[in-house]
Amino acid sequence: MTALGAVVFDWGGTLAVHQPVELLDLWRTAARILSPEDEESLTQRLVAVDQRVWARTLSTMRSVRLMDIVREASEEVGLDVAQAVISAAQDAHLDDWTRTITHHVSAREVLLDARERALAVGLLSNTHWPRSYHEHFLTRDGLIDLFDARLYTCEIDWMKPHPEPFESIAYRLDTPMEACLFVGDRPVDDIQGAADVGMQTVWIANDHAPGDGTVADHVIDDLSQLPALLERLTDPRRG
């Protein structure tokens, strides 16, 4: 196996954890801003659009942005939404998530450990949120400076497991694909996608992500176990 040069982390479910938040709650504030007299029915329609857009990404792997969802929702409900109102709705959407999102208790220790091993450290997340949303959480929890490169699929045309996101983060880390170790919690988006482009893989085993027969190079039960794995993988006496 090729010597490691970089570790790339998925974000949601890997570095970040959150309590479940209902789409109903996320879009209710937006509906209240857009049409307070029709808040309930508009909320349900906005939720339906959100679900429809994300369902579409499963088959196309085309990336999606929060603004795309808002535009499609505007077309659906026949509202001409001003930029100021869209921004207010986005901020309210983020506020709902801010209260529930935290990073894994071992995230900082794990990232520091990778850097101390002279490995480049990357972040690759499937997301429709703009970069500023993720940077908000990373800055809040003191993690943002521990990455050499951060890539969000809202900034490119494709989502994991399409090859482009993996190729793009490897390029930004200036590391050959086969020298990258991808750490993620989703067997298809993370593990299969990374393996298909030649990256080494670590799956954080879980109950909620369905398996499809894809076999990761390494399996751990918790993010906190990664430093021990990196110790074995970077020990010059191995093999």
E strand or H helix at 196: helix 193-196
pTM of the full structure: 0.74
- pLDDT by residue (tens digit) across 153-205? 999 999 999 999 999 999 999 999 999 999 999 999 999 999 999 999 999 99
pLDDT for res 173: 98
pLDDT at 53 over 90: no
- pLDDT by residue (tens digit) across 213-229? 678 999 999 999 999 99
What is the C-alpha separation between 115 and 230, in angstroms, rounded? 11
What is the C-alpha separation between 224 and 209, in angstroms, rounded? 19
What is the C-alpha separation between 173 and 100, in angstroms, rounded? 31
pLDDT for res 81: 42
pLDDT for res 51: 80
What is the C-alpha separation between 117 and 161, in angstroms, rounded? 28
pLDDT for res 125: 95
pLDDT grade, residue 58 (50/70/90)? confident
Strand partners, 87: none
Q: Which residues contact 177 (CB under 8 A, 6 or more apart)?
A: 166, 167, 170, 197, 198, 199
Q: For 34-43, 68-77, 89-98, 133-142, which range has the lowest pLDDT when averaged over its residues?
A: 89-98
pLDDT at 142 over 70: yes
E strand or H helix at 9: strand 6-9
DSSP designation for 12: B
